[in-house]
Structure 1
Amino acid sequence: MPETSYSFGEGLLTRVSLSLSEETAAEVERERRGRILDEYLADYARRNGPVSAEEQQRAGQLFDEVCSGEECRVAD
């Protein structure tokens, strides 16, 4: 059976419930947000050309401002 390739935000999902320390949960959230931003910047670069280091830094700052609350929701 061939392996199916999924894009960001696609594919099969399984809900998992875990209890994490606040420190671990914060690190998981930072990693998740970093991956979302990296995926967005890679997609943007594929469609529009290279993104400079300054633009990447500014995108990170804007992303942090938008996601500064307890939860950061990114549209699928």
Structure 2
Amino acid sequence: MVFATKPESELAERKLTLNIADSVPVATWHIALVLAQGYVHRLGHSDGFSADFSPCITQLQSHVDLASQRIQRLAK
């Protein structure tokens, strides 16, 4: 999920495409996954966001969960 301001100062929602390529070493994907999981965890436990931001964090977590599944498939 990506948010971008439209000229009317509204937010446009666009879907992100998840591309887990096998041209990147699996070990590198695992490192990236740990970083992404930590980032989402810190966002979810931060006091700096209002409750209105929680759907964004939920979507990010879903994206990271999907990435995790795809990375696990690469390792097999």
Normalising by structure 2, report the TM-score: 0.40
Normalising by structure 1, report the TM-score: 0.40
